[in-house]
Structure 1
Amino acid sequence: MEQFLDLYGFASVILHAAELVARTVLLGSVVFWTLLAVPEGRLMPPGDTDRLHAIARRTAIIAGIASLISTLALGLLGFAALEATLDISAGALLGADFVIFTGLDLLAMLALLALALPRGVPGPGRRWGLAGAALLVLLAVTFGSHAIARVEGRSMLLAATALHQAGAAFWLGGLPCLVAALRLTPASARIVGQRYSRLAAGGVGLILLGSAGFWFGFIGSVEAVYGTAYGSMAASKLVMMVLLLVLGAMNYRLLHRIAPSPEGVLRLRRFIEAEMAIGIAVLAVAASLTSVPPAMDLPDDRVTWAEITERFTPEWPRLTSPDHADLAIPALQAQLDAEWQQRQAAQRPQAFTPGEGLLPPRNATDIAWSEYNHHWAGVMVLLVGLAALLDATGRVPLARHWPLVFLGLAAFLLVRSDPEAWPLGDIGLLDSLRDPEVVQHKIAALLVVVFALSEWSVRLGLLRGRVRFVFPVAMLAGGVLLLAHTHAISNIKEAQLIELSHLPLAILSVVAGCARWTELRGPPELARIGRPLWPACLIGIGILLLLYREA
């Protein structure tokens, strides 16, 4: 149970991100089906009409099943955490608000799935039923959100939450249906695309209205944007929203101002695929926001602009490693274990909060160790980016082996990322996996190995087909993983300064994954843009890692 609680925060954020993605697609597919497929299907040939309804129905069913599983898993996880930390019976916990709203959410999803299962074009009654069940899902999620716990401005924040999630459904949730519908005949695909662009524009408006409510209820000032984790993560969402709006503007131009053609439809599909990838990253940030206190609740522990400029003033990278024996944790681990046992024996915690507890002890040598790791990782990523640019020219045959540099990075991360744990420290591998940060480091190293080997094989022509997409998917996964993480709340200022350095890395990783995906998928004119873009993102990541500081 202790290990479960150690990993609870990280697992809850990951599950919440999966739930947000699944639910957004579920609601979006219902919007697509009821507001677009039914009325616009009358203007299409019968074959296209049947395919359009089949697309919406299939997407709704798949997303509904995924929503059921993720919502149930998240509810059970929270229930288990409360039962493990509160001296209350499981029966008494069944009356908790989050349990009630989770149950209502699951019932609404089951009703929606039951209405989606029958084949054929839904009649008016079935359409109203689908819309009503989707509305119940939205209401259950809204009243089960963090807004309900606010004392001041609760009504505004509940409305903002509902608007935000409805807007995401109208804009991002229907994209899987849209990208599949573009395989219809060009005329039908254009009709669907033009109609969807109007729905998406309405979704953008709903998101902006919801964001205004979040600004006044959760953030409140410019200083809170850069001074708190909540504010900086909200700003990261805004940056990615701008990227989504740029892609949406390109889609609008292709749909409304350019004559339909197979090449235009192909470009449109690539833009939508990039929208979907960035949309997942945006929802991952939204999930991670639940692990930090709103900026309005931290009026005194904010990072100042002077502290930010002092921390991020460039200095020469640290390329020599301190001695492992001088680190703080090996010297103090036994003392910390004894103190923890005393606290556990004294009393049980009143409740479990993701990110709670004391940060590990750190001294100047620990900081030097971490900076050394980041700086050498930056050197290797920078080399990869430069070699990939050379490889793109086709004039340097040796440069095609650039993925092998990533194997060195993976080994470096495995050995050096957690010096208190295996293989350098006294903590065994299994015991170290109780720490969410260690888990994330191990996952990152594994991702690096997988995409390095697969991409190298692709470069040598040994592997073809879908394996080509392992590298861009791994970059996207790495960016999303960096965005969807828990936050230690014991040293808020230090956590925020580290957060400010990691968020740009995550955004660049997501953009790089989208660019490499587009290069592989084509068409040629977009591949030419993507080919230098993703190495440039890797170079940017390398430079940011070289500039990383913790003091």
Structure 2
Amino acid sequence: MEQLLDLYGFASVVLHAAELVARTVLLGSVVFWVLLAVPAGRLMPPGDADRLHGIARRAVRLAAVAALVTTLLGGLLGLAALAATLELRAGALIGADFIALIGLALLAMLAVLVLAAPPGVPGPRRRWALLGAAAAVLLAVTFGSHAIARTEERPMLLLATGLHQAGAAFWLGGLPCLLAALRLTPASARLVGQRYSWAAAGGVGLILLGSAGFWLGYIGAVEAVYGTAYGSMAATKLIMLGLLLLLGAANFRALHGVAPMGQGLPRLRRFIEAEMAIGIAVLAVAASLTSVPPAADLPDDRVTWAEITERFTPQLPRLSSPDHADLAIPALQAQLDAEWQQRQAAQRPQAFTPGEGLLPPRNATDIAWSEYNHHWAGIMVLLVGLAALLDATGRVPLARHWPLVFLGLAGFLLVRSDPEAWPLGDIGLLDSLRDPEVVQHKLASLLVVGFALSEWSVRLGLLRGRVRFVFPVAMLAGGVLLLAHTHAISNIKEAQLIELSHLPLAVFAVIGGCARWTELRGPEALARVARWLWPLCLVMIGLLLLLYRES
């Protein structure tokens, strides 16, 4: 059970992100079906109308199942963590408010699934029932959010939360349906796209209204944006929303322009796919925000602009490693074990900080080890990016083997990322997995190996078909994983300074993954630009890693 508590923070953020994605698609698909597909279908040929209803119905059913599973798992995980923290049986907590709200959400999702089961066009009563069940889902998750725990400005924050989630459903939630609907005849596809663009515009307005409420209730000052983890994550979310707005504006222009639909259809599809990918990243940030305290609750211990300037002033990278024997954990392991036993004998913790894990002491040698790891990883990623740029020219045949450099990075991460754990340290592999940061590092190593081998095979022409997309999907997954990354550091300021260095890495990874996807999918006009964009993202990631500092 202690191991569950150690991993709870990371697992809860990842699971909550999956729940947010599933729920947003569920609500958006219901809106798409009831408010768009039904009236638009009356203006289409019967064949297109039937296909459109089939698309929406299938999306609602799949999203309902995904939302049910993720919500149930999230509830069970939270219940288990709370029971372990309070040393109570899970049955004693069934009456808790958050369990009741999860139960309400599950019942509403189940109602949506049942209502979507019958084939054909839903009648008026069925449409109202679908909208009512979707509203019940939204109501349950809104009252189960952090806003309900606030003693001040609770009504405003509840309203902001509801508007924010409704806006995401109107804008992002229906994108899978829209993408599938573009396979209808050009006239029907344009009709659906034009109507969806207006719904998406309304969703943007709801998101902005909700964001204004979050600013007033959770942030409140410019200093909190860069001085706290909540503020910097919210700023990162805003940057990605800006990227989404650019893509949405391009889609709006394509759908409402005078050019024939067939000519701009491939470009439109790529932009919608990029919107979906970035939308997932935005929802991952939203999930991460639930694991940190609001900026308004941290008036002290904020990082100042002077501290940021000092930390991010470029210096020469650290290319020499300290001795493993000088690290804090090997030197103080016996003392740590004794202190842990004393704490266990004294009392159980009364509150659990998500993602906290085991917090070992850190000394100057630990910091030097971490900086050394980041700087050498930056060199490898920079080499990959430069080699990919050479490959893009088509003039250096040897450069097509650039994915193999990633294997060196994977081995480096596996061996060096956690010196106190296997294979360098005294802590075994299974015991080390109690620390969420170690888990994430091991997953990152496996991820790098997978996409390196697959991309190399693609470059050699050995793999074709959908396997080609392993690399861009891995880049996107790496960016999303980094957005959910937690740091087992008890110093709030140090954790925030590290967060400020990691968030740009995640954004570049998401952009690079979308660019590589676009290069593979076309059309050629977009592929020519994307061919240079994603290697530049790798170069930027490498440079940021070279500038990484913890002191």
Contact 1:38 1:121 in 2 (8 A): yes
| Secondary structure class of the residue paired with 1:503 | helix
Find the aligned partners of 1:54 and 1:373 in 2 and give their Cα distance: 51
Partner of residue 159, structure 1: 159
Partner of residue 81, structure 1: 81
Between stretches 77-86 and 495-504, larger displacement belongs to 77-86
Contact 1:164 1:210 in 2 (8 A): yes
1:355 is matched by which residue type in structure 2? G
1:368-399 alpha-carbon deviations (Å, 9 max, x no partner):
11111111111110010010011011110000
1:418-455 alpha-carbon deviations (Å, 9 max, x no partner):
00001110011111111100000000000000000000
Contact 2:12 2:77 in 1 (8 A): yes
Contact 2:5 2:357 in 1 (8 A): no
Partner of residue 459, structure 1: 459
| Structural mapping, 1:108-119, within 5 Å | 108-119=108-119
| Secondary structure class of the residue paired with 2:290 | helix
Find the aligned partners of 2:28 and 2:77 in 1 and give their Cα distance: 26
Contact 1:13 1:484 in 2 (8 A): yes
Find the aligned partners of 1:398 and 1:444 in 2 and give their Cα distance: 27
| Structural mapping, 1:417-496, within 5 Å | 417-488=417-488, 490-496=490-496
| Secondary structure class of the residue paired with 1:183 | coil
| Secondary structure class of the residue paired with 1:402 | helix
| Structural mapping, 1:66-145, within 5 Å | 66-145=66-145
Q: For residue 4 of structure 1, report the CA deviation from its aligned partner.
A: 1.2
Partner of residue 26, structure 1: 26
Find the aligned partners of 2:315 and 2:485 in 1 and give their Cα distance: 28
1:94-115 alpha-carbon deviations (Å, 9 max, x no partner):
1111100000000000111110
Partner of residue 174, structure 1: 174
Find the aligned partners of 2:329 and 2:91 in 1 and give their Cα distance: 41
1:212-246 alpha-carbon deviations (Å, 9 max, x no partner):
00000000000000000000000000000000000
Q: For residue 485 of structure 1, report the CA deviation from its aligned partner.
A: 2.9
Verify: 1:294 aligned to 2:255, yes or no.
Answer: no
Find the aligned partners of 1:330 and 1:487 in 2 and give their Cα distance: 20
Q: For residue 487 of structure 1, report the CA deviation from its aligned partner.
A: 5.0
Partner of residue 247, structure 1: 247
Find the aligned partners of 1:288 and 1:489 in 2 and give their Cα distance: 16
Find the aligned partners of 1:16 and 1:37 in 2 and give their Cα distance: 29
Partner of residue 546, structure 1: 546
Verify: 1:146 aligned to 2:146, yes or no.
Answer: yes
Find the aligned partners of 1:503 and 1:39 in 2 and give their Cα distance: 42
Find the aligned partners of 1:487 and 1:132 in 2 and give their Cα distance: 41
Partner of residue 9, structure 2: 9
| Structural mapping, 1:207-226, within 5 Å | 207-226=207-226
Partner of residue 270, structure 1: 270
1:88-140 alpha-carbon deviations (Å, 9 max, x no partner):
34333111111000000000001111101110001110000000000000000
Q: For residue 304 of structure 1, report the CA deviation from its aligned partner.
A: 0.2
Find the aligned partners of 1:549 and 1:486 in 2 and give their Cα distance: 17
Find the aligned partners of 2:485 and 2:372 in 1 and give their Cα distance: 23
Contact 2:170 2:202 in 1 (8 A): yes
- TM-score normalised according to structure 2 size: 0.99
Q: For residue 284 of structure 1, report the CA deviation from its aligned partner.
A: 0.2
Find the aligned partners of 1:2 and 1:369 in 2 and give their Cα distance: 28
Partner of residue 406, structure 1: 406
Contact 1:371 1:548 in 2 (8 A): yes
Contact 1:14 1:485 in 2 (8 A): no
Find the aligned partners of 1:368 and 1:249 in 2 and give their Cα distance: 46
Find the aligned partners of 2:58 and 2:87 in 1 and give their Cα distance: 44
1:548 is matched by which residue type in structure 2? Y
2:27 is matched by which residue type in structure 1? L
| Structural mapping, 1:302-321, within 5 Å | 302-321=302-321
CA RMSD of aligned residues (A): 1.0
Find the aligned partners of 1:488 and 1:445 in 2 and give their Cα distance: 19
| Secondary structure class of the residue paired with 1:291 | coil
Find the aligned partners of 1:135 and 1:314 in 2 and give their Cα distance: 51
Contact 2:8 2:355 in 1 (8 A): no
Q: For residue 517 of structure 1, report the CA deviation from its aligned partner.
A: 0.1
1:208 is matched by which residue type in structure 2? L
Contact 1:82 1:351 in 2 (8 A): no
Q: For residue 488 of structure 1, report the CA deviation from its aligned partner.
A: 4.4
Contact 2:7 2:355 in 1 (8 A): no
Find the aligned partners of 2:463 and 2:291 in 1 and give their Cα distance: 41
Contact 2:233 2:289 in 1 (8 A): yes
| Secondary structure class of the residue paired with 1:250 | helix
Contact 1:357 1:489 in 2 (8 A): no
Find the aligned partners of 2:549 and 2:116 in 1 and give their Cα distance: 53
| Structural mapping, 1:348-359, within 5 Å | 348-356=348-356, 359=359
Contact 1:224 1:231 in 2 (8 A): yes
Contact 1:60 1:116 in 2 (8 A): yes
Find the aligned partners of 1:488 and 1:392 in 2 and give their Cα distance: 40
Find the aligned partners of 1:474 and 1:416 in 2 and give their Cα distance: 21
Between stretches 479-488 and 127-136, larger displacement belongs to 479-488
Q: For residue 358 of structure 1, report the CA deviation from its aligned partner.
A: 6.4
Partner of residue 516, structure 2: 516
Contact 2:357 2:435 in 1 (8 A): no
1:467 is matched by which residue type in structure 2? V
1:275 is matched by which residue type in structure 2? E
1:246 is matched by which residue type in structure 2? L
Q: CA 1:415–1:357 in 2, change beyond 3 Å: closer, same or farther?
A: closer
Partner of residue 40, structure 1: 40
Verify: 1:394 aligned to 2:394, yes or no.
Answer: yes
Find the aligned partners of 1:139 and 1:403 in 2 and give their Cα distance: 47
2:176 is matched by which residue type in structure 1? P
Partner of residue 57, structure 1: 57
Between stretches 326-335 and 200-209, larger displacement belongs to 326-335
1:422 is matched by which residue type in structure 2? W
1:334-377 alpha-carbon deviations (Å, 9 max, x no partner):
21121111111111222333134663211111111111111111
Identity of aligned residues (%): 84
Contact 2:190 2:261 in 1 (8 A): no
Partner of residue 325, structure 2: 325
Find the aligned partners of 2:290 and 2:168 in 1 and give their Cα distance: 17
- TM-score normalised according to structure 1 size: 0.99
Find the aligned partners of 1:487 and 1:258 in 2 and give their Cα distance: 51
1:273 is matched by which residue type in structure 2? E
Q: For residue 489 of structure 1, report the CA deviation from its aligned partner.
A: 6.7
